[in-house]
Amino acid sequence: MTDSNPAKWSRRRVLATAASGVALAAATGLPMPAIAQSRKLTYWGGLIFSDDANKLLSDTITAWGAANGVETEVVMINQNETTQKVSAAVSSNTMPDAMDTGLGLLRLLGRQNVFSDVGELYKKIGDAQGGWFTGPDTATDLTADGGVARIGIPFGVNGNLLLRRKDLLEAAGFTEAPKTWDELKMQAEAVNKAPVSGLGLALSNVGDANLQVAILQSYGGRIADDAGKTVTLDTPETREWLAWVKDAWDKKLFPAGNTTWDGAGDNQAYLSGQAAFIANTGSVGIAAKKDDMELFEASAFSPLPGGPKGIVSPIDVQLRAITKASPLQAEAMALLEHLSSPEFMNAYFNVAIYGPVLADQEKLPAFDGTNTILVGLLGLAKNGTAPAYPDVNNAAFADFGSNFIIPKLAQRVVVDGWDFDRAIAEAQAQGQAIYDKY
């Protein structure tokens, strides 16, 4: 009687049932790759300084999805966190179907075979809109990396423009933008009076400070040889550039604190009226236009000055890419084509801080000359130099930049008081150690 009672729950049975329940719950709750869970097209957009641009991108993708019967999800990613998020997503197989990316990350992931070949779409868009500008076309051709040539569709060019306080400079007799770095220093010195510092350039361990690489190159200096293997910092040209930095430092042209600035240091210095010149992508102009129209109207944009060996004004290219693992390849291709349409891009350029990538985009109303920032970015798109030029744009160069070897070289001289030879020797050794890894 006792044994046959089915309602009797022994301790063993309770445990077995509980264990089964836990196992079942665990099994059903295991994270599955996002792309396997639904047919939703997920897009990771890169957050930029302009809320209007972010909203426009998100709304456009959503509207496109609704019109084409594709369920979409747009996730806007802080671009400072893209690397970490992508790293985790690749490891856990939860990459989005398509995403915005910078050129550096695209190249890196391209070597891991993460993105789809978009060569046909690239050609189609180029043919329809007057062809691609040479700068972005060359910069995004990954043939040299040994894989597929085109794994991203460029949508915007950015890079540094020179932003200056024309009200102060005109009062000091300078009506034209400086054409050379020496001229820039001379103009900066003329208006360098507290609380305004002449040169609002970062010399800290931050991406903005890598502008010094371009200045070094414009003086004829090179990071590495033509093979992209041997670091070549120990040259007279490097010393010439260092002399330029040291002289500006000794004349107290840099704002105090610029050796520890974060990425917003130069922005804040200019917007608070503490710098006469900064090199910036245009975000400061947008911020000034929004919050301080007086400052905006007192400002002017111009291309970066040149050195004895010409102008080095590297462009960076923003692209859209499709994840190879996505089951929605056709849909993602159609979306990227839609996002390259003149209608969308005209609206986007008006609120974003990117220059054009296609020849016909120059004719868009956005570039009619009324927006001085976009005029500057158009010039950058047409005349800017390829990333790393005249150096070889390889992984070692990117790693070299990420380790801020050139800003640190400048810091050794101006902060630590090292002589040029000692500072260059350290930078040369550190740089070579980086290049030797590749």
Partner 1 sequence: MSVAADTIPAKPRRRLPGNVRIKAFAYLLVAPAILLICGLVAYPFLFAIWVSFTDMVVGSVGNFVGFKNFEYLAGTATFYSAIWNTIVIVLVSDVLKLGIGLGLALLVHQNLPGRGIFRSFLMLPWAMPAFVAFLTWRVLYQPIGGGINLILTQTGLYPEVVDFLGSRSTAMGSVIVASVWRGFPFWFISILAALQSVPKELYEAAIVDGASTWQRFWNVTIPSLMPVIIVTTLLSSIWTANGFEHVWLLTAGGPSDATMVFPVLAYYGMQTQRIGEAAAVSVYMLPVLGILVIFATSLMMRREE
Positions in the binding site for partner 1 (CB under 8 A): 3, 15, 22, 83-84, 86-87, 90-91, 105, 108-109, 111-112, 114, 194-195, 204-206, 255-260, 262, 272, 274, 399, 402-403, 408, 411-412, 415-416, 426, 430, 433, 437
Please identify, using beta-carbon distances, which residue of 195 and 369 lies nearer to partner 1: 195
The nearest distance, CB 60 to partner 1, in angstroms, is 28
How far apart CA 20 and CA 16 sit, in angstroms, is 6
The nearest distance, CB 288 to partner 1, in angstroms, is 19
How far apart CA 228 and CA 397 sit, in angstroms, is 8
Rounded to an integer, what is the distance from CA 406 to the centroid of its chain? Answer: 18
The nearest distance, CB 425 to partner 1, in angstroms, is 11
The nearest distance, CB 354 to partner 1, in angstroms, is 23
Q: What residues contact 286, with CB distance under 8 A and at least 6 apart?
A: 49, 50, 353, 373
Structural contact between residues 308 and 215, judged by C-beta atoms closer than 8 angstroms = no
How far apart CA 174 and CA 332 sit, in angstroms, is 51
The nearest distance, CB 414 to partner 1, in angstroms, is 9
Please identify, using beta-carbon distances, which residue of 206 and 377 lies nearer to partner 1: 206
Q: 329-358: buried (b, 16+ CB within 10 Å) or exposed (e) per residue?
A: bebbbbbbebbbebebbbbbbbbbbbbbbb
HSE on the CB side for 64, CA within 13 Å? Answer: 24
Please identify, using beta-carbon distances, which residue of 51 and 81 lies nearer to partner 1: 81
Please identify, using beta-carbon distances, which residue of 38 and 272 lies nearer to partner 1: 272
How far apart CA 427 and CA 413 sit, in angstroms, is 11
Q: What angle do CA 45, 50, 56 make, to 5 degrees?
A: 55
Q: Which whole-number Å values give the CA distances from 67 to 60, 62, 74, 335, 398, in the listed order?
A: 10, 9, 16, 11, 41
Total length of the chain:
438
Q: What residues contact 49, with CB distance under 8 A and at least 6 apart?
A: 283, 286, 287, 353
The nearest distance, CB 377 to partner 1, in angstroms, is 26
Helix locations, 272-341, DSSP H: 283-291, 293-297, 329-339
Please identify, using beta-carbon distances, which residue of 7 and 26 lies nearer to partner 1: 26
The nearest distance, CB 402 to partner 1, in angstroms, is 4
The nearest distance, CB 167 to partner 1, in angstroms, is 19
Structural contact between residues 114 and 126, judged by C-beta atoms closer than 8 angstroms = no
Please identify, using beta-carbon distances, which residue of 183 and 234 lies nearer to partner 1: 234
The nearest distance, CB 87 to partner 1, in angstroms, is 4
How far apart CA 253 and CA 199 sit, in angstroms, is 5
Please identify, using beta-carbon distances, which residue of 53 and 114 lies nearer to partner 1: 114
Q: What residues contact 327, with CB distance under 8 A and at least 6 apart?
A: 35, 39
Question: Mutual orientation of helices 405-414 and 211-218 as an angle, nearest 10°?
Answer: 80
The nearest distance, CB 403 to partner 1, in angstroms, is 6
Please identify, using beta-carbon distances, which residue of 255 and 387 lies nearer to partner 1: 255
* Residue among 288, 354, 351 nearest 318 (CA): 354
HSE on the CB side for 77, CA within 13 Å? Answer: 22
Please identify, using beta-carbon distances, which residue of 12 and 175 lies nearer to partner 1: 12
The nearest distance, CB 405 to partner 1, in angstroms, is 10
